[in-house]
Structure 1
Amino acid sequence: MAIALIIQGRDVEALRSGLSDALPGVEIQVWPTLTDLAAIEFVVAWKSPENLLSQLPNLKAICSLGAGVDGILALADLPDVPVCRIVEEDLTRQMCDYVLAQILNFQYQFSAYCRQQHNNQWCEREPVAIKSVAILGVGQIGHQVAMDLYSRGYQVTGWSNSPKPDRVYSCVFGIEALAETVANADCVISLLPATKETDNLFNRNFFQQMQSHALFINVGRGNSVVEEDLYQALQHGVIQSACLDVFKTEPLPQEHPFWGLPNLVITPHIAAVTRQQNIISQIVEHYKKLQSGQTLNYIVDRDKGY
């Protein structure tokens, strides 16, 4: 019996070492050097190559390295086994910090001051008022972001696909409520997952429904934004500013027009990054439950996509 770490683009030595210490006697195989495909029963995956998981004849479950699972669910050869995800306090804290930082950056115009500094300019600017915030996607992480902003005095409205009762902040649901939600917000934040319903949700019509002084932040998934429509909205003042941490193509191509927009903040998918030492115990728990025949935590609904 073995665990395989099929993770592209990251050094996984800390994870491999931690799992080996926590699970003595369990073989930990690391892609691309998988020594015994038949022995692998559990996979921890991130950006798994196509046509690999289907080669594991005894695979019983897959765990995403992070909170997102769209890359796994998009695999054409995804086996019919449970897919679970990581739910981790540090990821949530990072996301809350990132969102707050971008709101404050916009409110106090720090990006503009940075540009002024490069041009040896001394010019005071009026702060931009953000009072009302719409958070699209108030699941586990989105709810904590909403609560963090609510505790700081922002007027928060959460929007989701299904009802979210017993929230201290206002919460609405359904596509019919989306337009009114964003129309009343100084800042619109998306934490939506990648699903068929969220594909190209943020288009020309959506941005026209926002207020012209508003800030748009996307820390969900890049599939949701029609990038040309956002580019036009920013270039022509339909909305005032945006911050994107996720994109349809990552890394963002060098020739992409987004790079030239002064009212767009670009970060390279770093709003919440899994720290490997923090998730070892959760992966161990997943594995032990699998071995004892128990239901795994945080199993993904494939039909919903999250």
Structure 2
Amino acid sequence: MTVVLISRAESAATWAAEIRGQDPELDLRVWPDETRDLDPAAVDFVIAAKPPPGAIAAYPNVKAVLSLWAGVDHITSDPEFPAHLPIARMVEEGLTRGMREFVVAQALNAHLKMPEYIRQQNERVWRPEIRGPHGTEPLVDEVTVGILGLGVLGSDCAAALRDFGFQVAGWAKSRKRMDGVDCYAGDAERAAMLARTDILVNLLPRTAETENVLNAGLFAELPEGAYLINVGRGEHLVEEDLIAALESGRLAGATLDVFRTEPLPQDHPFWAHPKITVTPHVASITRVKTGVARLVSAIRAFERGETPEGVVDPEKGY
């Protein structure tokens, strides 16, 4: 069985070494150096991380493509990608746990006004941010975190926030059910979820329907002073609308981990904005050891004629 790893990430060699260590029987070739003399018709599977246009289509007998990342738009955005090929998203415990930790931490930071206190420290200002009744701030059980997207990552984050004590509401395109989480579904119910959300976490997949979803219209449906955490895709956010919402006070602040252009350009206004926290796409990083175990398991499942976890629905795009 021949597998080609097509990755433009710096970690490609690390992934290759771990794959060979975990399953020496796989004939793994790393693109492009190890594929120049390879018969394209002999390739059975492709493991991909942002492959260049046409790279996957060059292998006519591929049975499936496995993404190194949780998202698949880095694969499907290729205009030459063979639409009939099944794609398996990366679903692994390390990635899920990483997202859970990041989202809970950022929700707590927003709830406790930590970005504001960091700004105050830089300015040597002593000003307690007490906005609740009777000179107190609300505890987490009085704060609602709304989550856009209740897939594997969104559902796990919702459960963690619920267990910490937050009130949690979640929205998805189709109906979901979770104990202790108020679940909303479809366009008709999204506004009701947004209207009660103090901290909004975006974990939607990137599709044609979800591009630019974080816009002025959506921000207007949130309570004044809500906080945004975007860990979905940079393409979800209309950047000018976010800055306007922050300047007007519609939003109190935002934590952004994903951007339309990465790395974020040095002259981008997000860097210096006092109400924006920038992190360099680190909310959830696939762990090589557990990620490779997932890849090998998925390849073996495809070989047996089974459907591994995380196979993308081509109609939905996720």
Query: TM-score scaled to structure 1, two decimals?
Result: 0.93
Q: After superposing the two structures, state which structure 1 stretch, 245-254 or 120-129, moved more.
A: 120-129
Q: Which residue of 1 aligns with 2:68?
A: 65
Change (3 A) 1:102 1:165: closer
How many angstroms does 1:212 deviate by? 1.6
Instruction: Report the secondary structure of 2:205's partner residue.
Output: coil
Amino acid at match of 1:209: E
CA contact (8 A) 2:91 2:309 kept: no
Pairs within 5 Å for 1:161-176: 161-176=173-188
Matched length: 306
CA contact (8 A) 1:235 1:261 kept: no
Pairs within 5 Å for 1:179-198: 179-198=191-210
CA contact (8 A) 1:70 1:194 kept: yes
Change (3 A) 1:156 1:62: same
Aligned with 1:94 (options 91, 98, 102): 98
How many angstroms does 1:110 deviate by? 2.6
Q: Percent identity?
A: 39
Q: Which residue of 2 aligns with 1:263?
A: 275
Aligned with 1:159 (options 163, 171, 182): 171
Query: Does 2:22 correspond to 1:18?
Result: no
Map Cα deviations across residues 179-218 of structure 1 (whole Å, 9 max, x no partner).
2211111111111000122121121111111112211111
Instruction: Report the secondary structure of 1:258's partner residue.
Output: coil
What's the RMSD between the two structures over aligned residues?
A: 1.8
Instruction: Report the secondary structure of 2:190's partner residue.
Output: helix
Q: Which residue of 1 aligns with 2:309?
A: 297
Change (3 A) 1:168 1:111: closer
Pairs within 5 Å for 1:1-306: 1-33=1-33, 34-35=35-36, 36=38, 37-79=40-82, 80-126=84-130, 129=138, 131-306=143-318
Map Cα deviations across residues 93-129 of structure 1 (whole Å, 9 max, x no partner).
1111111111222222333333333344444443864
CA contact (8 A) 1:73 1:302 kept: no
Query: What stretches of structure 1 of length at least 5 have no aligned partner?
Result: none
CA contact (8 A) 2:110 2:199 kept: no
Instruction: Report the secondary structure of 2:44's partner residue.
Output: strand
CA distance in 2, matches of 1:162, 1:294: 25
Amino acid at match of 1:23: D
Query: TM-score scaled to structure 2, two decimals?
Result: 0.90
Instruction: Report the secondary structure of 1:63's partner residue.
Output: strand
CA distance in 2, matches of 1:295, 1:305: 17
